[in-house]
Structure 1
Amino acid sequence: MTTEVYLVRHGETMFNQLNKVQGWCDSPLTVKGINDLKRTANALSQVHFDNMYSSDLKRAIDTVHLMKNYNQVSTIGKIRKLPEFREVFFGSFEGDDIDQTWQAVANAAGLAPTNNVVKIINQVGIYKFREATKKADPRHLAENKEELDQRMERAIAVLHQLTLDERRVLLVSHGDFIKTLGIKYWNESDGIHDIPFPDNGSISRGIIHSDGSFEIVDYNMNAAEIVI
């Protein structure tokens, strides 16, 4: 049996507004974030889910509970929190100014000074960008490509086992982690180059096949694009 997975990015947070690096560190949802999520929740209110899951970070947990409360056709019990679907870890840069962080990463990648993360990725590629982030981190704790690949594969394996008897589930995760899943599993990605960063409250739709393989078939949809 295949399982349809609605991957929702959490709503906007205080750190998003303040332009701070937010990986495993956390901050509360903003009023705008909550209002944006209500539009997503309304769009999904008539979609039946056999279960709902989330990352174990609070911004994701708050988001999944809002989705649960707005849904009118699903009976959801206790929500399982999955640390495998946490955001990408940025090590010592957690909570720092984003622009200063990208400047440090550009320097580690051997590029001219810039705080434009898209420019950095376009010049060196997403995988070298991950390596440069780890190199720039004074403690070298930030996740690199190999560590992220291993965690993504573990995340899909865990979700596959949890959803063996479930046809459709909702899972709240994070922007950079969903994007990295998209690079690896989206059928419109070449698996190498960068893709657009998913919006807060956006929906990406994936399929877990009976053999445990995974693919993303829709990426970064907003509430208006959801067709029941």
Structure 2
Amino acid sequence: MLATEVYLVRHGETMFNQLNKVQGWCDSPLTVKGIDDLKRTANALAQVHFDNMYSSDLKRAIDTVHLMKDANIVSEIGKIKKLPEFREVFFGSFEGDDIDQTWDKIAQAAGIGHETNVQKIINQIGIEEFREATKKADPRHLAENKEELDERMIRAIRNLHELTKNEKRVLVVSHGDFIKTLAIKYWNNSDGHHDIQFPNNGSVTRGILHDDGRFEIVDYNKDAEDL
């Protein structure tokens, strides 16, 4: 067994990103801008050798991983394995809703009144309470709270560890809020509670999956020009 370097790539901009809609497990196609941004990332990684590439099972991530695969000139990647555990955070009944109206409902559920700026909400109540308030505000209470999301992240890393035991470097396409939450948990620049910058579309976050299953993030939210 050996340590595995993991390149976590956020999918490109989608139609729902552009339309300011909540997008977790629901899906929408990549935009022209999203594809153009991804091509820059793909070109920056074109000569990085990967033993394998993986993807969340949502279409925007699958489309993204194929752009990475097609541009890479030094790797021989077979069929892409889809990993449902690396899906975006689930927002329950809010999926597809207007994002500002959703944040306002979450802010009210958290007891801080009207607020549509998600960063201000999280700064006030913290990321953990934000997850709880999201579940509380969801009329069907389906949205993932901190405990559910944390269990899924641990499962995602455990499964990836099993899959990559004989792989030195892999690429995994995932999603903004999921990658950010991984970084809050596994990046030593984060104290595990306070918020960090949301990763850009097409950005790369790099982690090390140690042979004993420990995971640590060593680089966060790097754009194509920084790679």
TM-score, structure 1 normalization: 0.99
Q: 2:102 matched to 1:88? A: no
How far 1:119 sits from its partner (Å)? 0.4
Q: Secondary structure at 2:218's aligned position in 1? A: strand
Gaps of 5+ in 1: none
How far 1:160 sits from its partner (Å)? 0.1
Partner of 2:208: 207
How far 1:156 sits from its partner (Å)? 0.1
Partner of 2:224: 223
Gaps of 5+ in 2: none
Partner Cα separation in structure 2 for residue 210 and residue 171 of structure 1 = 18
Identity of aligned residues (%): 80
CA RMSD, Structure 1 to Structure 2 (Å): 0.3
Q: Secondary structure at 2:172's aligned position in 1? A: strand
How far 1:112 sits from its partner (Å)? 2.1
Aligned ranges 1:1-80 → 2 under 5 Å? 1-80=2-81
Partner of 2:113: 112
TM-score, structure 2 normalization: 0.99
How far 1:95 sits from its partner (Å)? 0.2
Letter in 2 for 1:139: R
Q: Secondary structure at 1:180's aligned position in 2? A: helix
Q: 2:168 matched to 1:170? A: no
Partner Cα separation in structure 1 for residue 218 and residue 211 of structure 2 = 16
Shift >6 Å, 4+ stretches: none
Partner Cα separation in structure 1 for residue 11 and residue 188 of structure 2 = 23
Residues 39-77 of structure 1: CA distance to partner in whole angstroms, max 9, x if unpaired?
Answer: 000000000000000000000000000000000000000
How far 1:221 sits from its partner (Å)? 0.2
Partner Cα separation in structure 2 for residue 168 and residue 8 of structure 1 = 13
Residues 155-205 of structure 1: CA distance to partner in whole angstroms, max 9, x if unpaired?
Answer: 000000000000000000000000000000012100110000000000000
Partner of 1:184: 185
How far 1:134 sits from its partner (Å)? 0.2
Partner Cα separation in structure 2 for residue 173 and residue 112 of structure 1 = 32
Partner of 1:128: 129
How far 1:26 sits from its partner (Å)? 0.1
Q: Secondary structure at 2:221's aligned position in 1? A: strand
Partner Cα separation in structure 2 for residue 184 and residue 91 of structure 1 = 23
Partner Cα separation in structure 1 for residue 118 and residue 226 of structure 2 = 28
Q: Secondary structure at 1:195's aligned position in 2? A: coil
Letter in 2 for 1:77: G
